[in-house]
Amino acid sequence: MKTEIRVENATEKEELPVPGLGVRHIQVGLLFSLLAIAYGMRVNLSVAIVAMTDVSTSSNPDVPTYDWDNKSVILSSFFWGYITLQIFAGQLGNTYGTKWIVFAAMFVNASGCMLTPLLANTVGSYGVMGCRIVQGMSQGFFFPSVHNVLGQWAPLKERSFLGTIAFAGPSFGTIVAMPLTGYIAASWSGWPVSFYLFGCLGYCWMLAWALAGANNPAVHPNITVREREYIQKSLSVTKDEKVLITPWKGIFTSIPMWAIVVAMFGQNWGYSTLLTEMPTYMSKVMKFDMHSNGALSAAPYLASFIASFVFGAISDFIINSKYVSLENSRKLFNTIGTVVPSMALVILGFLPEDWIALSVMMLVIAVGVNAAVFVGFQINPVDLSPKFSGIIMGIGNGSSNIFSIIAPLMVQFLVTDETSRSQWRIIFIIAACVYSASNVFYVIFASGDEQWWNKSAEGNVEEESNQMDERIIIRTRIAHDNYIKK
C-alpha cells in the first residue's frame, strides 16, 4: 500500500543546499523515456497507416497493404481506451505505488504494438482498432503515474525543470517515431517492422524501470542520505508513515482543479488534431513523398523538444528569483503555449498553397511554442496537491481526451477532400478557438497554491488514529476496572 508522510509544521523545516545530479534525475529520466516510447507507439500508426493503405510506398511487393476507408476512425480508436481507466489509474497508483503498475501497463502496451501487424493481416481494420483500444487503456496509466512520481521526487525549487524533462518525452518520441517509421515503411522491410521495433523498446524500458525505478526516495536503495533529506524536506516529508484518505469532495469541488481540466480540454483538442492528422495533411496537401513526410512531420516536435527545456529553465528562474509568483508563472506560460499556436494555426489556414516553407514554419511554431504548457497547466497538479496529483491528472486527462476522439472524427466529417486546403483551414480555426477559450478559463480560475484538501488529508487520518487510540484506552481502562472488581 502506498503511504505518504508529511511534517506537521512545514515552516520549521530548514533550507538545505541543492545536491547535484542524483537519483531524482534518474527517476525523471525514466519518466522521460517512458513517455517517449509511449508516444512513439502512439504516433507510429499515424505515419504507418499511409503506407498500410498505399501499395506504392514500399519497394517490397510482399509488404501487405489494405483498402481501408476508415482511417480517421482507426486513428481515434486509441483514445476510446485511453479515456476509460485514468481516474482509476491515479487512485490505484496513489494507494499501492506506481512502480509495478506502470511496469504491467507497459507490458500490455508493448504487446499490443507487437501484435498490430498480425491482427491487421488476419482481422483487418477492426483488429488494428482492437490493438489500439488496448494500447490506449494501458497508456491511460502513464500520465497519472508520472504525476504521482513527480509528486514524490521533484523538489519545489526544481519542479518546473524536472517536470519539463519528463514532459519532453512525448516530443522526443514523436521526433524519433515519425521519420523512423516513414523510413522503415518506405524501405524493403516495410511498415510491420516499425511496430516490432517500438514493441521491443517497450520491453527494454520495463527492464530498466524494474532495476532503477522507485515509488519514492524513502524506498530507493541507492539514494544518498543528503539527496533523500533534501527531497523530503522540500516536500515536507518525515519518517512517520500515514495512510492517506483521498479527499474526493475537496478535489471535485476545487475550482483550480477544474481550471486544469478545462486547459486539458483545449490542449487535447488542438494537440491531437496536429498529432494524428498532420502526416495526412503534409502528404495530401503539401505533396511530400513518404520519406519526407515522416521527417518533416517530426520537425515541429523537434522544436517542441528544444523549447520545452528553455521554458522550463526560465520558469524555475523567474519563480526562484521572485520575479513572478508561482501562480502567475503558470498562467503566463500557459497563455504563451496556447495563444501563439492559435495564431499560427489561423495564419496557416490562410496561406496560399505554394507557400510551403512558411506553412511548415507555422506548423513548427504551433507545436513548438505549445511546449510552454508543460510549465503551465501540465505541472500545475503537483502545485495544487503533491499527494493527489496523479488523481487530478487522471480526472483531467481521462475526461479531456474525449476531445481527442472527437477531433479526428470531426476531420473525417469536415474534410471530405483531403487535398482541399480550404477544408483543412476550418479544422485549424476550430482548434485555435478551442485553444484560446480554454486558456481564458485557466487564467481566470487557476491557482499555484497548495489546496486545503491536500493538507487536510493527513489530518483526517491523524484524527481517525487519535479517535481509535482513545477508544482503545477507554476499553483498556474498563477491562482493568472490571478485573479489579472481580
Question: Which range, 195-209, 273-287, 357-371, 464-478, is most confident?
Answer: 195-209
Alpha carbons 465 and 463: distance in angstroms, whole number: 5
pLDDT band at 275; cut points 50, 70, 90: low
| pLDDT reported for residue 276 | 66
Q: Are 325 and 448 in contact, with CB atoms under 8 Å apart?
A: yes
pLDDT band at 96; cut points 50, 70, 90: confident
Higher pLDDT, 284 or 204: 204
Amino acid identity of residue 133, one-letter, is: I
66 Cβ contact list (under 8 Å, min separation 6): 52, 53, 120, 124, 125
336 Cβ contact list (under 8 Å, min separation 6): 311, 369, 372, 376
| pLDDT reported for residue 457 | 55
- Average pLDDT over the chain, rounded to an integer: 84
Quick check: 429 pLDDT over 50?
A: yes
Higher pLDDT, 411 or 465: 411
Q: What is the rounded average pLDDT of the residues 419-443?
A: 90
Least confident of 236-245, 262-271, 276-285: 236-245
| pLDDT reported for residue 465 | 42
| pLDDT reported for residue 345 | 86
Residue where the block lists cell 533534501 = 230
486 Cβ contact list (under 8 Å, min separation 6): none
88 Cβ contact list (under 8 Å, min separation 6): 394
Q: What is the rounded average pLDDT of the residues 5-13?
A: 40
Quick check: 291 pLDDT over 70?
A: no
Which domains, from first to last, does the chain contain? 19-239+248-450 (1.20.1250.20)
Q: What is the rounded average pLDDT of the residues 422-430?
A: 88
| pLDDT reported for residue 326 | 93
Alpha carbons 47 and 35: distance in angstroms, whole number: 18
Q: What is the rounded average pLDDT of the residues 95-116?
A: 94
Alpha carbons 149 and 154: distance in angstroms, whole number: 8
**Residue 221: CB atoms within 10 Å:** 6
Quick check: 442 pLDDT over 80?
A: yes
Q: What is the rounded average pLDDT of the residues 147-157?
A: 88
| pLDDT reported for residue 477 | 55
Q: What is the rounded average pLDDT of the residues 214-222?
A: 90
* Cα dihedral 467, 470, 475, 476 sign: positive
DSSP string, 210-270: HHH--SSGGG-TT--HHHHHHHHHHTT--S--BPPPP-HHHHHT-HHHHHHHHHHHHHHHH
Quick check: 289 pLDDT over 70?
A: no
Q: Are 265 and 434 in contact, with CB atoms under 8 Å apart?
A: yes
pLDDT band at 256; cut points 50, 70, 90: very high
Q: Are 272 and 403 in contact, with CB atoms under 8 Å apart?
A: yes
pLDDT band at 294; cut points 50, 70, 90: low
98 Cβ contact list (under 8 Å, min separation 6): 145, 148, 149, 215, 390
Q: Are 367 and 317 in contact, with CB atoms under 8 Å apart?
A: no
Give 309-328 pLDDT, tens digit per residue: 999 999 999 998 999 999 99
DSSP string, 389-402: HHHHHHHHHHHHTH
Q: What is the rounded average pLDDT of the residues 350-358?
A: 79
pLDDT band at 211; cut points 50, 70, 90: very high
Higher pLDDT, 309 or 234: 309
Which grid coordinates are listed for 212?
Answer: 532503477
| pLDDT reported for residue 250 | 93
Quick check: 416 pLDDT over 90?
A: no
Least confident of 87-96, 254-263, 304-313, 319-328: 87-96
Q: What is the rounded average pLDDT of the residues 124-140?
A: 94
pTM (2 d.p.):
0.78
Please enumerate, as own/partner, the contacts of 93-97 that have beta carbons within 8 Å and a separation of 24 or more: 93/2, 93/141, 93/144, 93/145, 93/148, 93/390, 94/2, 94/148, 94/244, 94/246, 94/387, 94/388, 94/390, 94/391, 95/1, 95/2, 96/1, 96/2, 97/1, 97/2, 97/215, 97/216
Quick check: 266 pLDDT over 80?
A: yes
Give 28-85 pLDDT, tens digit per residue: 999 999 999 999 999 899 888 888 888 777 778 888 888 888 887 888 788 888 888 8
Alpha carbons 308 and 293: distance in angstroms, whole number: 24
Give 368-403 pLDDT, tens digit per residue: 999 999 999 999 998 999 889 889 988 988 888 888
Q: Which of 124, 126, 131 is nearest to 109 (CA)?
A: 131
Maximum separation of any 2 CA atoms in the chain, in Å:
102
Residue 4, SS3 per DSSP:
strand
**Residue 422: CB atoms within 10 Å:** 11
| pLDDT reported for residue 46 | 84
Quick check: 467 pLDDT over 60?
A: no
Q: Which of 319, 158, 150, 310 is nearest to 230 (CA)?
A: 158
Q: What is the rounded average pLDDT of the residues 211-217?
A: 92
Q: Which of 298, 342, 333, 338 is nearest to 171 (CA)?
A: 298
Helix ranges restricted to H, 386-451 = 389-400, 402-414, 421-445
Give 241-253 pLDDT, tens digit per residue: 455 688 999 999 9
| pLDDT reported for residue 397 | 85
Higher pLDDT, 484 or 219: 219
| pLDDT reported for residue 242 | 57
Quick check: 180 pLDDT over 60?
A: yes
